Amino acid sequence: MTHSLYSKFILGYLVFGLLGFVFIATFSSRMTRDYLIQSRANTLYDEACLIASSYSTMYQGQPQDLSDASPQLRAVAQFLGAEVMVVNRQGTIIVDSTGGSRVHTVIDNFDPTAIGNRSYSIGRYNSLFAEDVLSVSAPITGNYNTYGYVLIHLPMSQVKDAQNGVLNILYITSFLIFVLSSIILLVFTKTVYLPLRKITVGANEYAAGNLDYRIAVHTHDEMGYLANTLNYMSDELNKMEEYQKNFIANVSHDFRSPLTSIKGYLEAILDGTIPPEMYGKYLSRVISETERLHKLTESMLTLNSLDNRGYLSRSNFDINRVIKDTAASFEGTCDNKNIVFDLTFSDNIQMVYADLGKIQQVLYNLIDNAIKFSHHDSTIYIQANSRYEKIFISVKDTGIGIPKDSLKKIWERFYKTDLSRGKDKRGTGLGLSIVKEIIQAHGENIDVVSTEGVGTEFIFSLPRSTNL
């Protein structure tokens, strides 16, 4: 059987209240009683000492008329709520505060030293009282002699009444604190429990595949942050799911076209539709379509490797030399269209710290695109300039350009503009995605400036080498 977090919190709250009551009823009750007894005993003992000091000049152990002392004893007894008496050394009561009702009464086994080092005793004082009393005694002395004792007896019922009064205050105060502490429960319910339930419902919806569900928690705290994070996660998962659908559709489309061509050409050869003297021509087309499939597969594998972190193998190299070598590899293609390169470098040697193979791939893709979308008898401008701690590389053509509404989409995988579909039917739509992934993996940026019918320029940065 599982218990919710809220029920556990309620249980803890009730246990806290119960333990608090038990603590007050036991420890606080005992401490209050001990404190009141000690406090009352000290007060009674001080009064007994004052009375004893005043009696020491009147009473010297001889039979005397002490009726003048009775009013004082009654006043003190009434003030203290106790019974006051004077006894001789043998324990015979000489004067008391009850109007003489106990005068000449002998206290059995009278021994004021029996309490030891304590200043009080609790009990019935040798059966003198019918209930427990708090008793203190002070000696009446004079000329280094002890003539008697002043005894003060306070009923323990008064101490009990005072204890109950203090405990009642503690109980009421504790109850009010317990009630006020329920505010914590309300705050917990509003700020933790209810948002957590909404988050749980949202998580269950996401697990069931409903990625459009929104968790309605808008607080500016950890719960709100968690809800926003889960909402963001659902959005990203939704985008990923949509991307996967588009990816599968694009891959299927791009694979279907060359496979259909290959199948058609081979079937035509087998059934004799294509004469033997034409085999070479159509087999070349089959090889071309096969190369297209191979290029598409390689591009997909490259993107998959780019998705894995830590794939870069950085080193220091001269970016100028890499640009020259990459441009030289397109010599045959450029001759067919009579395209020339204009290379401009700010320095003879410009060292960068990057992955040589990946940067060659970036340059190859950008130059390849520039050649594909350039007119015959045109020029492609490639520049490398140093600025502060960066090297900026630019690849610019004067070709057909990119439509304005396609500029933000060219980085998407498998995306092709309408112009590129007519110009480059064999493209995979993955080249610029690969370029951007590589540049971003280096912690750098790539931008594009293009005007339809005028040309396109790609500019990216690389970190300058620090080992110069």
What are the tokens at 171? 């109980």
pLDDT along the chain (468 residues), means of 10: 69 82 80 88 87 69 52 79 85 79 81 74 85 88 79 89 86 83 81 84 86 85 86 84 70 69 82 83 80 71 59 86 88 85 89 88 87 90 90 92 80 62 52 83 89 90 82
Please tell me whether residue 251 adopts helix, strand or coil conformation.
Answer: helix
- Name the CA radius of gyration of the chain, rounded: 52
- Do the beta carbons of residue 51 and residue 72 sit within 8 Å? yes
Q: How far is CA 151 from CA 122, 169, 208, 248, 286, in A?
A: 13, 33, 86, 105, 127
Dmax (CA) for the chain in angstroms is 162
Q: Which amino acid is at 309?
A: R
Phi/psi of residue 60, each to 5°? -120, 25
Q: Which amino acid is at 365?
A: N
Identify the CATH assignment for 220-301 out of 2.60.40.3120, 3.40.50.300, 1.10.3660.10, 1.10.287.130.
Answer: 1.10.287.130
- Do the beta carbons of residue 180 and residue 13 sit within 8 Å? no
Helix (H), strand (E) counts: the chain: 13, 12
* Superfamily of chain region 3-160: PAS domain (3.30.450.20)
Of residues 177, 224, 234, the one with CA closest to residue 203: 234
Give the pLDDT confidence score for residue 95 in this predicted structure: 80
What are the tokens at 50? 């004052």
Per-residue pLDDT tens for 148-178?
888 888 999 888 888 888 888 888 888 888 8
Of residues 133, 132, 149, the one with CA closest to residue 141: 149
Give the pLDDT confidence score for residue 251 in this predicted structure: 65
Give the pLDDT confidence score for residue 425 in this predicted structure: 44
**Where are the domains positioned within the chain?**
3-160, 220-301, 309-461
Q: Which residues are CB-contacts of 104 (< 8 A; sequence separation ≥ 6)?
A: 92, 93
In this structure, what DSSP letter does residue 375 have? P
Give the pLDDT confidence score for residue 422 in this predicted structure: 47
Of residues 412, 418, 414, the one with CA closest to residue 428: 414
Give the pLDDT confidence score for residue 6 in this predicted structure: 73
What are the tokens at 148? 């008697």
Give the helix/strand (H/E) hosting 268: helix 222-270
In sequence order, what are the beta bridge partners of 343?
A: 382
In angstroms, rounded to a whole number, what is the distance separating the alpha carbons of residues 291 and 401?
Answer: 27
**% of the chain exceeding 70 in pLDDT:** 85
Give the pLDDT confidence score for residue 212 in this predicted structure: 84
Please tell me whether residue 393 adopts helix, strand or coil conformation.
Answer: strand
Break the chain down into helix, strand, coil percent, rounded to 5: 55, 20, 30
| Residue recorded with tokens 């008391």 | 96
We find that the CATH architecture of domain 309-461 is 2-Layer Sandwich (3.30)
